[in-house]
Amino acid sequence: MAKVTSKLQVTIPKAIAQAHGIKPGDKISFESAGEIIRVRSEIQPTKKVRSKAERMRLFNEMVERQREREKNRCFPTGFPKDDEVTREALYDRVNTD
């Protein structure tokens, strides 16, 4: 929590400043939003634009990780087939575990 000084100055917590890229000398604005004071940085964060090849590489890596997770997963056995599912079968499954 920040404290207001006698000169009405406020210190921005370091973690917040780092997360939003605010550095000493940057300009910020204060806006009244009802009972809330909104603080906005005047700097616009730079958006990292990835090439199509980079996005495809990241996507393929993600798909491979998902396949590995699914391959190592243990699925329960003994479930009835979809056409054999009845209310009683579900209750029997729950009661036997």
pLDDT in tens, 14-64: 998 888 888 888 888 889 988 999 888 877 656 678 899 999 999 999 999
SS3 state at 95 = helix
| Cα-based distances in Å from 46 to 24, 34, 49, 56 | 18, 30, 9, 22
Of 33 and 96, the structure prediction assigns the larger pLDDT to 33
**H-type alpha helices, 1-97:** 14-19, 52-71, 87-96
Half-sphere exposure of 85 (CA within 13 A, CB side): 5
Query: Would you give the DSSP letter of residue 10?
Result: B
Q: Rounded to an integer, what distance in angstroms lies between the CA atom of residue 73 and that of residue 70?
A: 5
Q: Which of 56-60, 82-86, 91-95 has the highest mean pLDDT?
A: 56-60
Confidence of residue 66 (pLDDT cuts 50, 70, 90): very high
Half-sphere exposure of 88 (CA within 13 A, CB side): 1
Tokens 């005047």 label which residue?
A: 42
Confidence of residue 77 (pLDDT cuts 50, 70, 90): low
The pLDDT assigned to 87 comes to 74
Please say if the pLDDT value at position 70 is more than 90: no
Please say if the pLDDT value at position 91 is more than 90: no
